[in-house]
């Protein structure tokens, strides 16, 4: 990309879509692993399913509004930066960076005002008691500060992503999460154990940590981006392409953002559904108030933390997809587009199936040893269903982003709108009949439509054959069956059974998981799945 900064040799492997996706996923994995680990002591500090429910539900509202008010801008920024760097128009790429930071600051300010203004209304829709409404309103108001700060951080990340600097992109994710968790646990412990305050103050500190970490993240990535900008400036001295004026550049940015904005509004509606419609459907069912509180906490707090593990594949590979497919289409290199599509889908499918199935299998011992719950059976059952939703929630964004990058935005958005309407219509009655299982099944139905339609359109538009994907799916399912058999046998002899002391159960679960994973890996290697997906061979020793 920037010859004066890095030699060309460094960069074909480093800049490949597999390497970029895995590096991006690595950063998200570290961030989410930290999030999973901190939630264990944090749930003890809170010591309440209700507070855990407030925390999880509020973050789903926050995540949705954040995606709306960033308006898909990080993807648009990455697309534009990648395009102009491919065209060797480095000065325009720099103009995109400066313009995007200002626009995202304005959008973030608007989002902060909207979330704070409607916090009371949302709290009344989500909570029935006066105390619950008051706490939820405060939590949403504190989170609104992050709505202003995080879009600015995302503008810098979009620029770095467009430059294909996936190591820094990954580091930024991990750095922000480490800073957030350090603040969250440190301040929470100080307030609850040091000053002997109510655990509700730990809840407030936790949501405030998002804003504190965003400030730290902005400072860190700004310092890194200066060196990248300097390299572009040096290249710009020799460019022959004419710099695009600000007005048409801004128009291009808006036109790119609009489809991504609609994508965010429609595609992330699942967060709103689970935060608002799930409690509504449960209240209309035959479940008791205690059971509803348990299920809401299991879904919106623990379930989200666990399924975040497979779902890290989505942002990691989406971050890599956008610049690579954009560059390939700019060069009219359809063969590379087909290759990138298949490699991404097959890798994400293989890893997501393994991780989601592991959560499904070990939901009960995980909850028993690590999290607070008043009803282990109900909580474990809820998480098992959420593991299925996590699988579809991992695959769908990756495939949808491919459709967006492949310039089929309008076709995708129409189908996503249909899918969101179907989900909204089905969710409440299905939750009334089947509880959490109904919510997940409504998601599976809506996401399956998007996946099926997108694969069909990519096969028609770019002649992509998904035979290798079907082969990977069938072989991976066989490997999972072997893994499940091994896990079941080990559980029968007491390894990982949620019936002993928590420490013994935890150690048994770890041993069970390691041995079962070895069976899965051996089976996968026998079929040649990792060799095929990651392009390596085992060397045989010469006699």
Q: Is the pLDDT of residue 453 over 90?
A: yes
- DSSP assigned state of 374: S
Work out the burial of residue 280: count CB atoms within 10 Å of its CB; fewer than 13 is exposed, 13-18 middle, 19 or more buried.
Answer: middle
More confident of the two residues 540 and 64: 64
Joined together, the tokens standing for residue 291 give 């059971």
| CB distance 533 to 472 below 8 Å | yes
Interacting residues of 423 by C-beta distance below 8 A, sequence separation 6+: 269, 270, 273, 442, 443, 445, 446
| Closest of 477, 501, 497 to residue 489, by C-alpha | 497
The residue-averaged pLDDT of 153-174 equals 82
Gap between the Cα atoms of 127 and 124, Å rounded: 5
Per residue in 261-312, pLDDT tens? 766 676 666 767 777 788 788 888 888 878 887 887 777 767 777 777 777 6
Q: 25-34, 140-149, 316-325: which has the minimum mean pLDDT?
A: 25-34
Is pTM beyond 0.85? Reply is no
pLDDT at res. 4 = 42
- Our CA dihedral for 307, 310, 314, 320, rounded to 10 degrees, sits at 150
Per residue in 378-399, pLDDT tens? 888 888 898 898 899 888 888 8
pLDDT at res. 32 = 61
Joined together, the tokens standing for residue 221 give 């990535």
More confident of the two residues 538 and 147: 147
Joined together, the tokens standing for residue 267 give 């595609």
Place of tokens 């935890």: 506
- The winner for highest mean pLDDT among 161-170, 266-275, 442-451 is 442-451
Residue 8: count other Cβ atoms within 10 Å of its Cβ.
8
Gap between the Cα atoms of 301 and 46, Å rounded: 12
CA 215-322-309 angle, to 5 degrees, is 60
Per residue in 7-29, pLDDT tens? 343 344 344 555 555 555 555 56
Q: Is the pLDDT of residue 484 over 90?
A: yes
Q: How far is CA 81 from the centre of its chain?
A: 23
pLDDT at res. 357 = 93
Gap between the Cα atoms of 157 and 222, Å rounded: 10
Joined together, the tokens standing for residue 432 give 């009334």
Interacting residues of 195 by C-beta distance below 8 A, sequence separation 6+: none
């Amino acid at each position: 990309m920037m010859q004066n900064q890095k030699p060309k040799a460094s960069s074909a492997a480093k800049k490949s879509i597999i390497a970029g996706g895995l590096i991006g996923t690595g950063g998200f994995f570290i961030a989410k692993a930290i999030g999973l680990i901190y939630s264990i002591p944090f749930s003890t500090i809170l010591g309440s399913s209700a507070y855990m429910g407030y925390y999880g539900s509020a973050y789903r509202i926050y995540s949705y509004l954040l995606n709306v008010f960033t308006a898909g801008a990080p993807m648009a920024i990455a697309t534009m930066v990648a395009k102009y760097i491919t065209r060797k128009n480095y000065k325009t790429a720099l103009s995109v960076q400066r313009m995007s930071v200002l626009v995202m600051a304005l959008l973030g300010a608007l989002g902060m005002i909207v979330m704070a203004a409607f916090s009371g209304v949302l709290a009344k829709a989500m909570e029935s008691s006066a105390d619950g409404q008051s706490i939820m309103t405060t939590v949403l108001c504190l989170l609104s500060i992050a709505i202003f700060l995080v879009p600015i951080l995302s503008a810098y990340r979009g620029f770095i992503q467009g430059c294909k600097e996936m190591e820094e992109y990954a580091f930024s994710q991990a750095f922000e999460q480490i800073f957030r968790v350090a603040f969250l646990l440190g301040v929470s412990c100080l307030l609850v154990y040091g000053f002997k305050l109510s655990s509700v103050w730990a809840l407030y500190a936790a949501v405030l940590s998002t804003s504190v970490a965003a400030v730290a993240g902005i400072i860190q990535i700004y310092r890194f981006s200066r060196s990248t900008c300097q390299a572009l400036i040096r290249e710009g001295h020799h460019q022959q392409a004419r710099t695009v004026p600000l007005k048409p550049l801004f128009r291009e940015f808006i036109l790119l953002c609009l489809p991504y904005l609609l994508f965010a509004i429609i595609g992330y509606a699942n967060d709103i559904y689970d935060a608002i419609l799930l409690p509504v459907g449960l209240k209309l069912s035959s479940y008791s108030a205690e059971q509803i509180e348990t299920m809401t906490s299991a879904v919106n707090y623990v379930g989200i933390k666990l399924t975040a593990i497979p779902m890290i594949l989505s942002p990691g590979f989406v971050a890599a997809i956008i610049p690579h497919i954009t560059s390939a289409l700019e060069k009219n290199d359809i063969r590379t587009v087909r290759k990138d599509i298949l490699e991404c889908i097959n890798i994400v499918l293989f890893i997501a199936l393994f991780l989601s199935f592991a959560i499904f299998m070990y939901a009960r011992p995980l909850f028993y040893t690590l999290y607070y719950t008043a009803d282990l059976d109900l909580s474990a059952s809820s998480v098992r269903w959420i593991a299925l939703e996590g699988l579809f929630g991992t695959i769908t964004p990756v495939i949808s982003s491919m459709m967006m990058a492949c310039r089929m935005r309008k076709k995708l958005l129409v189908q996503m709108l249909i899918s969101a309407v179907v989900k909204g219509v089905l969710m409440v009655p299905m939750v009334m009949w089947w509880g959490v299982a109904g919510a997940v099944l409504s998601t599976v139905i809506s996401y399956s439509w998007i996946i099926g339609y997108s694969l069909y359109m990519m096969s028609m538009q770019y002649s992509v054959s998904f035979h290798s994907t079907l082969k990977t799916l069938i072989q991976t399912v066989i490997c999972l069956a072997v893994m499940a058999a091994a896990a079941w046998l080990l559980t029968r002899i007491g390894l990982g059974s949620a019936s002993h002391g928590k420490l013994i159960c935890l150690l048994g679960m770890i041993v069970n998981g390691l041995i079962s994973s070895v069976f899965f890996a051996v089976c996968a290697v026998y079929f040649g799945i990792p060799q095929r997906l990651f392009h390596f061979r085992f060397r045989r020793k010469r006699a």
